[in-house]
Amino acid sequence: MRISFFIGIFICFGHLISAQTGYINVRERLLNNPAVQRGQVSWSFRDIASGQELDAFQSNKLMVPASVLKTFTTALALTRLQGTFAFETKLLVNGKIKRSHLRGDLMVIGGGDPSFGSGLAGSMPGDSVLAEIFRMLNEAGIERISGDLVIDPFALPYDHRVISPSWIWEDLGNYYGAGAFGLNWRNNEFTVSIEPAKSHDDSCRIASVSNWAKHLELVNKMSSAYDNEEDVYLFSAPFSSKVFLSGTVKCRGELFTERGALPDPPLAFGLELRDYLNSHGIEVEGNVKIQQANTQDAQVWKVFRSPDLRALIIEVNQNSNNLFAECLGKRLGYGYSESGGDALERYLSEYKPEADLDMRFDDASGLSRKNRISTSFQSRFLRNQTGSTEFPYFLGSLPLAGEEGTLKSFRKINQLRAKSGSMEGVRAYAGYFYDAASHWISFSVIFNQVPAKGSEQRELIADLLDAASKNAFTLPFPYAPPGMLRDTLLNLKPVREMLERVNNPEGYDSETQKRLPFKPNVVFRGEPDVSNPYWMVEVSAGIDNIGQRLRFRVHAQSRRIEQEVGGQENWKEMKP
């Protein structure tokens, strides 16, 4: 029996040693990879319980994060706006109805809802929104509107600020580069079907386009080739009426579709609503006008509410929806800034240590190439979120590796949930996993300008995370809980003398004397690690003008106690 026990211990210990050796080998193999050595690599694995970095490589280096930046946007939105928050879009009537005739305007006022008419995250699809507006007008007996369709998108700036100024031209016309407006429509995108050429001498043609984009002029600049796969980009800009299609299309290929960004979603919505009402028997005599609505005498007929924030962030983190992220960022900045990046800067300032003051947030989606974060900061931020009451919803919004969202094709790794990020020159992942020692770990891994295919970079990162999940990390700076030091601190001479003073009844009024004796309050602050091994401790007692406090710092491992004397971080060692 005893022999079997020791054999079991030996086998278990052997597995742990093997896993640790495996992680070290994978780590070294990654860092010795020729492509990795030519690019920039950074990672941080942080123990959630203690806050200590279990392993890191260049974790303070500033990196372009791509879409893993969305973890900041969604987590902050949950904590600042709360999970039950919802956007609103209002339908109003301004005028009188006489004999089936609305003598006035039909108005729609946007509230920055990214899901309006998209059918995403449980929202109403665009066709259902149009049908609901028609139903309400029809039930009111309206057959003619002599006024205008007034579309008010001015909950957010309706100008150049709908996009980040640092977004590149190549992205703007494509669906993922759509601007964030005060009124968004059908995910601010449209589809175009392209019919390939029959021969090299022939040219491909645009077969069809979404109904809500038929007012756009599509300019065909595509070329045909026999040996190329489809590689088509759309080029446009906010408020433009032209969309250019450029790139190569494989000859004799099959009909395929591309997704483009709507240059002006409020206008597209207004035109589609007018056409829908006209085609269903309600004549609109006026024009579609983009302007601020005069609501003084108007009646609200309908409020379209978005799904709640907990549903919206699933769309952001599972499908990496840039529009949804930008609208959440702009909402975070409501009343402060029109820039989602500015809002992130403001709220993240409370998390920033001095070493990270050079980080930069240019948008809320990660599409900007000017964003800069450190993996150390991101793993620390993700760790801090675990204390939020909304954290279960945030964690659930992150795709499960190998099963969900943008991680569906990623390797299955035990309980790993993460946000992915990729664009030209960037491959990144950030989230949570468990290791073999049951450490719950927050992590961030970012590759910048590594000259290898995206699939190869993904496998390198998967190898690292897989090996890390099978490894039994050890805390680099282990220490006992601080509560064991409380009695030692209370027995220090300066503390005993302070308690004597505050509990001296001489000079106290009768009411204060009734509260004696004052019990000491001991507060430990900080999270000791290798770089800063101290707890900062405050011992206080008393109330108001008779209260007193003393400050100490305690080395978490050696238990050496020092008292602050004379302020300005002057420390004197104390003997218990």
Which whole-number Å values give the CA distances from 175 to 172, 181, 405, 409, 567, in the listed order? Answer: 8, 14, 18, 22, 57
Whole-angstrom Cα Rg for the chain: 30
> Any idea how long the chain is?
576
Which whole-number Å values give the CA distances from 260 to 187, 189, 214, 246, 484, in the listed order? Answer: 11, 5, 13, 12, 62
Please, is 238 exposed, middle or buried when counting C-beta atoms within 10 Å of its C-beta (0-12, 13-18, 19+)?
buried
Dist. CA 476–CA 474, nearest whole Å: 6
Which whole-number Å values give the CA distances from 18 to 279, 319, 397, 476, 498, in the listed order? Answer: 71, 37, 34, 19, 55
Confidence of residue 431 (pLDDT cuts 50, 70, 90): very high
Dist. CA 54–CA 476, nearest whole Å: 7
Domain ranges of the chain: 2-83+310-319+366-470, 87-307, 482-574
Dist. CA 365–CA 74, nearest whole Å: 10
- pLDDT for 500: 84
For residues 82-103, average pLDDT: 94
Model confidence at 101: pLDDT above 90: yes
- pLDDT for 6: 44
Instruction: Please report the sign of the dihedral spanned by the C-alpha atoms of residue 280, residue 284, residue 287, residue 291.
Output: negative
Dist. CA 243–CA 574, nearest whole Å: 74
Model confidence at 9: pLDDT above 50: no
Q: How many helices and strands in the chain, by DSSP H and E? A: 15, 23
Cβ neighbours of 456 (radius 10 Å): 14
Model confidence at 67: pLDDT above 60: yes
Dist. CA 176–CA 160, nearest whole Å: 17
CATH code for residues 87-307:
3.50.80.20
Residue-wise pLDDT for 260-314, tens only, equals 999 999 999 999 999 999 999 999 999 999 999 999 989 999 999 999 999 999 9
- pLDDT for 253: 76
- pLDDT for 50: 92
- pLDDT for 371: 97
Residue-wise pLDDT for 27-62, tens only, equals 999 999 999 999 999 999 999 999 999 999 999 999
Which two three-digit tokens encode residue 65?
A: 């994060």
Whole-model pTM: value is 0.89
For residues 485-492, average pLDDT: 90
Most distant pair of Cα atoms in the chain: their distance: 105
CATH code for residues 2-83+310-319+366-470:
3.40.710.10
Residue-wise pLDDT for 237-261, tens only, equals 999 999 999 988 887 778 889 999 9
- pLDDT for 254: 83
- pLDDT for 11: 46
What is the rounded average pLDDT for all residues in the chain?
91
In sequence order, the β-bridge partners of residue 372 are 360
Cβ neighbours of 474 (radius 10 Å): 11
Cβ neighbours of 501 (radius 10 Å): 12
Neighbouring C-alpha atoms within 13 Å toward the C-beta of 530:
7
- pLDDT for 355: 59
What are the DSSP calls for 106-134, one per residue? EEEE----TTTTB--TTPPBHHHHHHHHH
- pLDDT for 350: 80
Model confidence at 199: pLDDT above 60: yes
Euclidean distance between the first and the last CA atom of the chain, given in angstroms as a whole number: 48
Which whole-number Å values give the CA distances from 427 to 4, 236, 372, in the listed order? Answer: 48, 26, 14
| Percent of the chain whose predicted confidence (pLDDT) is above 70 | 92
Residue-wise pLDDT for 368-401, tens only, equals 999 999 999 999 999 999 999 999 999 999 999 9
Residue-wise pLDDT for 499-514, tens only, equals 888 877 666 666 666 6
